[in-house]
Amino acid sequence: EVQLVESGGGLEQPGRSLRLSCAASGFTFDDYAMHWVRQAPGKGLEWVSGISWNSGSIGYADSVKGRFTVSRDNAKNSLFLQMNSLRAEDTALYYCAKDIDSNWHTYGMDVWGQGTTVTVSS
Amino acid sequence: QTVVTQEPSLTVSPGGTVTLTCASSTGPVTSGYYPNWFQQKPGQPPRALIYSITNKHSWTPARFSGSLLGGKAALTLSGVQPEDEAEYYCLLYYSRWVFGGGTKLTVL
């Protein structure tokens, strides 16, 4: 069974940093691209970032570009999101999602984790 | 700024048929936008339904189908069930992915 388990969320002050992790199991992790998608309380979905199977291609939403960095460790079947210069508007449930393909910019997501909550507040 | 527009809400009777649409502010939606559709119920993560316009995932019920309709991506539910009541999101690719605002589907 394909499983994605996010962790690392919490309460952080504006301007500070957080690092999210996503542990993957049940599939060959390094065959697939991965994504981060977030959902602010009571709002819709927002794509945050995507990374190809070998980290050779990466994309970000304009809202996080320059502040967030996505990475992966294929040896550890793990995906990460380093979130710097946090803002109140980054408050959301952050989902890790597997892509259908090895590249993040072709097909889209199939399997999603349960998410980890990030709250940015002073 | 690129905007993906969906109907905010739709209502359908059990057993009926409903079509949700997904429009792009840049013009007609084509295959190059790789349209995806997701279903989300309260308190749950999204569940993928359709990718690349028409392709279903292994778990997607047969009553769900995707298409291009009048320059928009479309999701049609035929023979709607009460458990189809949910929020539905489309997703388009523009050199980055952009979700639509979602359609709240009520089965009544």
Q: Which of A116, A122, A120 is nearest to A9 (CA)?
A: A116
DSSP secondary structure letters along A28-47: -GGGS-EEEEEE-TTS-EEE
CB nearest to B45's CB, from A105, A106, A114: A114
- DSSP 8-state secondary structure symbol assigned to residue A52: -
Compute the mean pLDDT over every residue in chain B, rounded to the nearest whole number: 97
Residue A28 has pLDDT above 90, yes or no: yes
Neighbour tally for A112: CB within 10 Å: 22
Which residues, 6 or more positions from A60, have their beta carbon under 8 angstroms from its beta carbon? A48, A49, A68, A70, B96
CA-based nearest residue in chain B for residue A114? B45
Token digits of residue A78: 């793990």
The minimum CA-CA distance between B94 and chain A, rounded to whole Å, is: 9
Cβ-defined contact of B96 to A60 (cutoff 8 Å): yes
CA-based nearest residue in chain A for residue B58? A110
Cβ-defined contact of A112 to B46 (cutoff 8 Å): yes
Compute the mean pLDDT over every residue in chain A, rounded to the nearest whole number: 98
The minimum CA-CA distance between B18 and chain A, rounded to whole Å, is: 21
Confidence of residue A76 (pLDDT cuts 50, 70, 90): very high
Q: Do A6 and A20 form a contact (C-beta atoms < 8 A)?
A: yes
Residue B46: HSE in the Cβ half-sphere, 13 Å Cα cutoff = 32
Percent with pLDDT over 90 in chain A:
99
A64 contacts in B (CB within 8 Å)? none
Dist CA B5 CA A28 (whole Å): 35
How confident is the model at residue B19, as a pLDDT?
Answer: 98
Q: Which residues of B5-20 are buried (b: 16+ CB within 10 A; e: fewer)?
A: ebbeebebeeeeebbb
Which residues, 6 or more positions from B31, have their beta carbon under 8 angstroms from its beta carbon? B52, B53, B68
How confident is the model at residue B1, as a pLDDT?
Answer: 85
The minimum CA-CA distance between B64 and chain A, rounded to whole Å, is: 16
Q: Point out the residues of chain B with pLDDT beneath 70.
A: none
Question: What is the biggest distance separating any 2 CA atoms in chain B, rounded to whole angstroms?
Answer: 39
The minimum CA-CA distance between B46 and chain A, rounded to whole Å, is: 7
Cβ-defined contact of A47 to B98 (cutoff 8 Å): yes
How confident is the model at residue B93, as a pLDDT?
Answer: 97
pLDDT tens-digit readout, A77-121: 999 999 999 999 999 999 999 999 999 999 999 999 999 999 999
pLDDT tens-digit readout, A52-72: 999 999 999 999 999 999 999
User: How many Å separate Cα B3 from the centre of its chain?
Assistant: 15
Residue A24's H or E segment, with its range, is strand A18-25
Cβ-defined contact of A110 to B34 (cutoff 8 Å): no
